[in-house]
């Protein structure tokens, strides 16, 4: 018996159709990323890749880029936690790491009180500009006993900063925009809240101050007194929108362990 070619083609088409219909849709790729003191889970947008290089974390695709960054503490409790980590490093003889941490800790800006800052400025310098005698190994220094003046400075710094109240998220976002600028000054064009069960989040759109060109999108997340930011860094809105919206819509915070600080 011969089979007509048309019938064979029809049967093959039916088999392929059924196979496609039965195939489950592809599961989105969800990745977990440590970003400073935060840990997040996001859906990796189709066609994008996650890159970590020289301490910078970002999503990239064909010359466009979305950046992730921990902007540091903005509340008193978060500042005190960071001071505790710096003190633990000091006690372990990790002097350079103490200086690096203190350089990133914006105590003066967060205090918003010049008189209060003047009272603790010498303590901040003693810790932030920590000096150790040349030729003295850390283990010898520890055995000989730590400088009690440095310990006292840590105590006074913690006491002065413990009561820092976290400003509202919109104020934080507007201040952070200036720190994030790398070229022409930007201004805010719109602000709206984003629902997150684990933290406060705010969507901020900006553009160049004079021309209103080169719009940029930002997501600011207030997580345990620290700020996480997601921002479009390279490329125009048409090439970035799908990736940014996917990440914003899928972003979730995960529990974290404190970064290494000797605790």
Q: Using DSSP bridges, classify how beta strands 226-234 and 216-223 pair: parallel, antiparallel or unpaired.
A: antiparallel
Give the model confidence (pLDDT) of 207-262 as tens digits: 888 888 888 899 999 988 999 999 888 777 778 888 899 999 999 998 876 555 54
Q: What percent of the chain has pLDDT over 90?
A: 38
Sign of CA dihedral 109, 110, 116, 121: negative
The answer on pLDDT for 50 being more than 60 is yes
74: nearest Cα among 191, 199, 169 = 169
Q: What is the pLDDT of residue 9?
A: 44
Q: Return the closest-CA partner of residue 201 out of 177, 237, 173, 181.
A: 173
Residue with the bigger pLDDT between 62 and 136: it is 62
pLDDT at position 32, please? 92
- Give the residue range(s) of CATH 3.40.1000.10 domains in the chain: 30-74+166-253
Longest Cα–Cα distance of the chain, Å, equals 102
**Per-residue pLDDT at 182:** 66
For the 30-74+166-253 domain, the top CATH level (class) is alpha beta
Q: Over 169-237, what HEC string results? A: HHHHHHHHHHHHCCCCCEEEEEEEECCCCCCEEEEEEEEECCCCCCCEEEEEEEECCEEEEEEEEECCH
- The pLDDT of residue 258 is 56
Res 20 pLDDT > 90: no
pTM: 0.78
What is the arithmetic mean of pLDDT over 125-147? 64
Bigger pLDDT: 151 or 23?
Answer: 151
Report the alpha-carbon distance of residue 215 to residue 89 in Å, rounded.
42
C-alpha distance from residue 6 to each of 45, 163, 188, 204, 205 (Å): 42, 81, 63, 59, 58
- pLDDT of 14 reads 44
**Least confident span in 15-24, 52-61, 137-146:** 15-24
Q: What is the pLDDT of residue 256?
A: 73
Average pLDDT for 147-164: 92
pLDDT tens digits for range 182-209:
667 888 889 999 988 888 999 999 888 8
Q: Please list the alpha-helical segments (H only) found in the chain.
A: 5-22, 76-91, 95-104, 107-111, 114-128, 138-144, 148-161, 169-180, 237-250
Whether the CB-CB separation of 107 and 79 falls below 8 Å is answered with yes
Mean pLDDT, the chain, integer = 81
Percent residues over pLDDT 70 in the chain: 80
pLDDT-based confidence at residue 19 (cuts at 50, 70, 90): very low
- 7 — pLDDT class (breaks 50, 70, 90): very low
């Amino acid at each position: 018996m011969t089979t007509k070619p048309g019938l064979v083609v029809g049967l093959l088409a039916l088999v392929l159709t059924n196979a496609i219909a039965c195939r489950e849709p592809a599961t989105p790729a969800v990745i977990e990323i440590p970003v400073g003191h935060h840990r997040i889970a996001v859906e990796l947008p189709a066609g994008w890749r996650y890159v970590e290089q020289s301490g910078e974390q970002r999503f990239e695709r064909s010359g466009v880029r979305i950046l992730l960054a921990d902007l540091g503490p903005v509340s008193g409790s978060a500042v005190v936690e960071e001071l505790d980590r710096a003190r633990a490093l000091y006690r372990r003889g990790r002097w350079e790491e103490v200086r690096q941490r203190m350089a990133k800790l914006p105590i003066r800006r967060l205090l918003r009180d010049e008189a209060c800052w003047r009272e603790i400025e010498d303590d901040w310098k003693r810790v932030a500009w920590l000096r150790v005698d040349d030729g003295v190994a850390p283990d010898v220094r520890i055995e000989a006993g730590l400088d009690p003046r440095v310990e006292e400075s840590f105590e006074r710094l913690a006491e002065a900063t413990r009561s820092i109240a976290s400003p509202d998220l919109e104020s934080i976002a507007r201040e952070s925009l200036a720190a994030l600028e790398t070229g022409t000054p930007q201004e805010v064009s719109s602000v709206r809240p984003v629902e997150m069960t684990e933290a406060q989040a705010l969507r901020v759109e900006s553009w160049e101050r004079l021309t209103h060109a080169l719009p940029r999108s930002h997501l600011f997340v207030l997580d345990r007194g620290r700020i996480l930011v997601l921002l479009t860094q390279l490329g125009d809105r048409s090439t970035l929108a799908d990736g940014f919206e996917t990440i914003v819509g899928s972003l979730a915070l995960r529990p974290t362990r404190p970064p290494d600080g000797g605790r």
